[in-house]
Amino acid sequence: MRMRVHAERIFSERSGECPAASRAFPGTRILAIIGATLVLLPPMASAQLDVVITRSTQRAMPIAVVPLEWRVPLMAPVDLARIVEDDLSRTGQFAPLGRESMITRPTGFNDMRLTNWRIMDVEAVVMGHVSGSGDNLAVEIELVDVYAGRSMIAYRLRSSREALRDAAHRIADVVYEQLTGARGIFSTRLAYVQVTPGREQFRLVVADADGRNPIVVLRSAESIMSPAWSPDGSQLAYVSFEAGRAEVFLQDVESGQRRRLSGEAGASSAPAWSPDGELLAVTRSSGGVNRDIYIYALNGGPARRLTRHPATDTEPAFSPDGAELYFTSDRGVGPQVYVVPANGGRARRVSFSGTYNARPRVQPNGNQLAVVHQQDGSFRIGLLDLRDESLRLLTNGPLDESPSFAPNGRALIFGAGTPAGRGLGVYFIDSGVTRLLRAPEGVLREPVWGPHEPD
Amino acid sequence: MKSSTTQNACILILLALALAACGTSDNAALPGAEEGPQAAQIGPAAGGTAAAGAGIGATATGTRVAGAGAQAPAEPGRGSSGEWMGGPLGTLVVYFDYDRSAIREEYGEILQAHGAWLAANPEGRLRLEGHADERGTPEYNLALGSRRAQAVAQVLEALGADAWQWTAVSFGEEKPAEDGANEGTWSKNRRVELVYE
């Protein structure tokens, strides 16, 4: 049973503590009403994912997320402030004040004493209240800059009871954007493959960015590989072995409707969407074994062959402007990353550190590639800077793979192959913090971070 | 098993070519690359090994042992009553070095026997299932499994099999014969399974 819930968010600007506020924080003035669509399904049989800290942070901004005052007759189904706090602290960029240390629990700028927070060294306070009843709830929030002594943003969000968790993620998105300048990613979704023992052990799962609310969108007795979100977040392309060989399928996430990409003979894999969602780059075997990259127009028509080389060409990824494709090829010594114009042409090598750099994914700003780098038998996620060809290794390995950028480019999710087992790792670029998500049973693989909700 | 010095010379040249095709990288000895296990004798005894790795899916060899006898005429390695004969024709798995698709010299006699059998049995059909260990990216490993299956096919064709007698499919790292993150396990997962149909 699917139910659609519409959450409207209305922003209002706090009247004039400081006239410069809206200039200093351009995000303050958000006039649009944002309509969001949620898909709510019954929770899947497996339990939630665990979240484990695997590396401590550098310097995190001290903040306080005050428990929201609940002015609704029926008890609160979720702890909104806790969700906001968890979202923010997970990035490693924020250190929330413990509730036991809060001397007072204000609900807005007008009823707070700044000195109470200054003595705790808190730099920003999030507070507010929830009112209304039933499925007509209003969540009102204010964010205060403690040292400047002014309100940065105040806004109201309408939500049903069931959508409160999503409302909390949206609050976290706004706070994150106000405090860092980068768009928040807490309302986005993840897709990954879960492999569990038993029959139909391969599952394609869609979950919230914090790993909660996992929804199985496909179960199969055969392998599922290489999921890829369409740019609008409505579809997943992936590889299924259900016909006894690798083939690319496209599936509408909400309706579950799916189709095979092409009826042509031969295996196909490694689907990658163009930024406009109109093209799908795919690896196909031609002449039996040799793999090259082909481009399909999703509105029909024959596939266009993009690379033509006796070596293996695979793992394509479009550049953010759609003009180029990065891909893995072993045409040199070992797999390396190359780039080729999307309209065809000569491929140029872009990775030069070591003997194994594969599975490129392009940062949304186009500056860096996330790659899988192998050195001394250990596979780690690296950031390859396209401007100076430098490579920075982010993870410890030894079997890390499948990096995928968050849509704001400030975090990566990857398949974490640690000595303790396989899970999903999230690496936050600004703090250097890695988080691990693990399933209570089975293995999690091939995560891919979904896009922002459309405006 | 019939074999002649000419054929032996042939297969050595083939193997040499296959090795040379990998160029300099073949001896580059990537870290972690070690010799795999010797060619496993897949018979009733080895069937237990295959079944032990059935966590992800029964291997083709395991299935075949279970179905012993039924397909005897279309399958080498069995006697007239379906019993396993052992020897080169009873070997249905070819193992590979890490990140390599070159066929190791020890498989010369084995592939020679399969190639000769296919040449002598035009109705024989063989599915070559290529696999990789879990290290490296899944899509790259899918391509690697494909190259391994193709490498076996090329040798078989050169030894008498016809192109229409075989098909190749790659499962990459998706169907390990054994689970576990160590070289002993990985070496058993880098393989091509010969499945007679």
- CATH for A3-49+59-180 is 3.40.50.10070
Please tell me what DSSP assigns to residue B37: P
Whether B32 shows a pLDDT value over 70: the answer reads no
A chain contacts of residue B146, beta-carbon cutoff 8 Å: 267, 285, 289, 291
What φ, ψ does residue A124 adopt, rounded to 5°?
Answer: -145, 140
How far apart are the C-alpha atoms of B184 and B28, rounded to whole Å? 21
CB A380 within 8 A of CB A396: yes
Return the closest-CA partner of residue A336 out of A321, A318, A356: A356
- Mean pLDDT (whole number) for A436-446: 87
Q: What is the mean pLDDT of residues B86-109?
A: 92
pLDDT at B186 over 60: yes
Instruction: State the pLDDT confidence band at B34, using cuts at 50, 70 and 90.
Output: very low
Question: At B92, which CATH number?
Answer: 3.30.1330.60
**B155 with B162: CB under 8 angstroms?**
no
CB contact under 8 A, A379 and B172: no
Residue type, A74: L
A291 interfaces chain B, CB cutoff of 8 Å: yes
**Threshold 0.90, pTM exceeds:** no
H-assigned helices in A31-79: none
Give the Cα separation of A254 and A249 in Å (integer): 15
Substitution target in B24, B129, B142 with the highest count of A β-carbons within 10 Å is B142
- Cα gap A3→A132, rounded to integer Å: 21
In a mutational test of the B interface, the residue from A289, A372, A376, A379 whose CB has the highest number of chain B CBs within 10 Å is A289
The pLDDT score that the predictor gives to residue A32 is 28
A333 contacts B24? CB cut-off 8 A: yes
**Mean pLDDT, rounded, for A402-406:** 98
pLDDT computed for residue A410 by the predictor: 96
Cα–Cα dist A208/B189, whole Å: 34
Inform me whether the C-beta atom of residue B22 falls under 8 Å from chain A C-beta atoms. Answer: no
Asked if residue A428 lies in contact with residue A180, where contact means CB atoms within 8 angstroms, the answer is no
B44 Cβ neighbours under 8 A, 6+ residues apart: B65, B68, B84
Question: Which chain B residues are within 8 Å of A399, Cβ to Cβ?
Answer: 134-135, 181
Does residue A15 surpass a pLDDT of 70?
A: no
Q: Which CATH number fits domain A189-449: 2.60.120.260, 3.40.1110.10, 1.20.120.430, 2.120.10.30?
A: 2.120.10.30
Chain B residues in contact with A328 (beta carbon < 8 A):
137, 139-140
Handedness of CA A338, A324, A292, B145 (dihedral sign): positive
Taking an 8 Å cut-off on Cβ atoms, the answer to whether B25 and A334 are in contact is yes
Q: Rounded to the nearest 5°, which phi and psi values hold at B93?
A: -135, 130
Domain ranges of chain A: 3-49+59-180, 189-449
- What does the block give as tokens for B75? 């399958």
Instruction: List the single range of A229-233, A251-255, A303-307, B37-41 with lowest mean pLDDT.
Output: B37-41
Interchain contact A30–B (C-beta under 8 A): no
Q: Which of A200, A222, A224, A241 to mutate against chain B (most B CBs within 10 Å)?
A: A241
Q: How far lies A181's CA from each of A174, B50, B76, in Å?
A: 10, 55, 68
Angstrom distance (rounded) from CA A291 to CA B101: 15
Q: How confident is the model at residue B159 (pLDDT cuts 50, 70, 90)?
A: very high
Mean pLDDT, rounded, for A279-308 = 88
Report residue A435: phi and psi, to 5°.
-115, 150
Q: What's the rounded Cα separation, in Å, for the pair A228 and A174?
A: 27
pLDDT of residue B45: 32
User: Which of the four pLDDT bands, split at 50, 70 and 90, describes residue A154?
Assistant: very high
Contact B137 A315 (CB under 8 A): yes
**pLDDT of residue A182 exceeding 80:** yes
Query: Which residue(s) pair with A208 in the sheet?
Result: A189
Please tell me which residue of chain B has the smallest CA distance to A316.
B139
Q: What is the mean pLDDT of residues B75-89?
A: 73
- Predicted confidence at residue B86, as pLDDT, reads 72
The reply to whether residue A223 touches residue B175, judged by beta carbons under 8 angstroms, is yes
* Strands A378-385 and A61-65, sheet pairing: unpaired
* CB-CB contact of A169 with A159 (8 Å): no
Return the structure tokens found at A244.
């006894």
Please tell me whether residue A95 adopts helix, strand or coil conformation.
strand
B137 at the A interface (CB within 8 A)?
yes
Put simply, whether B56 touches A (Cβ < 8 Å) is: yes
pLDDT in tens, A195-222: 988 777 999 999 999 999 999 999 999 9
Work out how many domains chain B is built from and give that number: 1
Q: What is the pLDDT of chain A when averaged over all its residues?
A: 87
One-letter identity of residue B41: Q
Question: Can you give the residue range of the structural domain that contains B54?
Answer: 5-196
- ipTM for the assembly: 0.85
Is B140's pLDDT higher than 70?
yes
Residue A52 has what pLDDT?
A: 56
Under a CB-based contact definition with an 8 Å cutoff, are residues B59 and B130 in contact? no
Beta-carbon separation of A377 and B32 below 8 A = yes
**B181 interaction partners in chain A (CB closer than 8 Å):** 399, 417
Which residue, A246, A250, A339, A261, is CA-closest to A296? A261
Beta carbon pairs, A and B, within 8 Å: 102
- pLDDT > 80? residue A2: no
pLDDT tens readout for residues A103-138: 999 999 999 999 999 999 999 999 999 999 989 999
Cross-chain Cβ contact B136/A372 below 8 Å: yes
Predicted confidence (pLDDT) at residue B79 exceeds the cutoff of 50: yes
| Nearest CB neighbour to B30, from listed A246, A355, A401 | A355
Say if CB A428 and CB A93 are below 8 A apart: yes
Between CA A381 and CA A393 the distance in angstroms is 6
> Is the model's pLDDT at B191 over the cut of 90?
yes
Please name the residues between 60 and 89 in chain B that touch chain A, using a CB distance below 8 Å: none
For position A155, what pLDDT does the model report? 87
- Where is average pLDDT lowest: A94-108, A163-177, A350-364, B23-37? B23-37
**Per-residue pLDDT, A440:** 79
pLDDT confidence of residue B151: 95
A370-378 long-range contacts (CB < 8 A, ≥24 apart) are A370/A403, A370/A404, A370/A405, A370/A412, A370/A414, A371/A337, A371/A403, A372/A400, A372/A401, A372/A402, A372/A403, A372/B136, A372/B137, A374/B30, A374/B135, A374/B136, A375/B31, A376/B31, A377/B30, A377/B31, A377/B32
